Structure 1
Amino acid sequence: MNAPSTAQPKIGFNELLRFVLELFAIVTLGIFGFTAFPLPWPGVLIGIGAPLFAILLWALFRSPKAVFAVDPFVKALVEIAVFSSAAIAWWLMGQPIVAIVFAVVAAVSGVINGRREFSA
């Protein structure tokens, strides 16, 4: 007697890339807060608050187990807000190459994921 198979979600390269991009964006916002603003205040507040706010937005609207089921356009807006914030942070920290590479990779990954979401 075979046990009922539980369908595992397929995790491909783009899903893994998107997870790494999300982690990179969150870490970037923390680095930006601590380095771009005077310490202890507002640097500590922004260094901790910006990543927490990005995590909250992602958990509420964008994650696979999001609290609120929203339209794919809202998901895209949240994703664009978080990823573009990270790219802008790198630009403001004087790292335009990192900013551009991150923005391009995030945009391509987002388009691939968006096409998959809209076709489903």
Structure 2
Amino acid sequence: MNDAAPDPAPKIGPNAILRFLLELFAFVSLAVWGFVDFELPWPGVLVGIGAPLAAIVLWGLFLSPRAVFTIDTFGKALIEIAIFSAVAIAWWLMGQPIVAIVFAVVAAVSGIINGRKELA
């Protein structure tokens, strides 16, 4: 018999849930930006599909819990800042500065909390 205790389930706190929701909002926002701010059919379709796809690939390669490449906390922070800044800028360009500012502030606070946890 195996006497080793099973691994405890990972603790998912409020910030982890918030970060997941921010990621989903970011991907959807980039798609909306592509389809709304660019002329359809071709520039809009390419940006509407390409921008969230690029963000998803970056997130999967470097930031996800099962990331393909492991990088240090500062590298993760730079990629996350780039993605979330692009989302805030997209909302600003769509004429929604309040959404852009609220998203940027919430994403920054969540990122700082996550970064402090990773560095502890």
Alignment RMSD (CA, Å): 1.4
Shift of 1:97: 0.3
5+ long unaligned stretches in structure 1:
none
For residues 6 and 108 of structure 1, the distance between their equivalents in structure 2, rounded to whole angstroms, comes to 30
Shift of 1:7: 1.5
- Deviation by residue 1:12-48 (Cα, 9 ceiling, x = unmatched): 0000000000000000000000000000011000000
- Which one-letter code corresponds to 1:49 in the other structure? G
- Which one-letter code corresponds to 2:46 in the other structure? L
Q: Count the aligned residue pairs.
A: 119
Shift of 1:6: 2.6
For residues 51 and 45 of structure 1, the distance between their equivalents in structure 2, rounded to whole angstroms, comes to 10
Shift of 1:5: 2.5
Shift of 1:4: 3.7
Q: Look up the match of 1:72.
A: 73
What's the TM-score, normalizing by structure 1?
0.95
- Which one-letter code corresponds to 2:47 in the other structure? I
SS in 1 for 2:42: coil
* Identity in percent: 70
| Dislocated runs of 4+, deviation >6 Å | none
For residues 6 and 56 of structure 2, the distance between their equivalents in structure 1, rounded to whole angstroms, comes to 33
Q: Look up the match of 2:36.
A: 35
Q: Look up the match of 1:20.
A: 21
5+ long unaligned stretches in structure 2:
none
For residues 111 and 4 of structure 1, the distance between their equivalents in structure 2, rounded to whole angstroms, comes to 33
Aligned pairs for 1:1-120 (under 5 A) are 4-119=5-120
What's the TM-score, normalizing by structure 2?
0.95
For residues 3 and 72 of structure 1, the distance between their equivalents in structure 2, rounded to whole angstroms, comes to 31
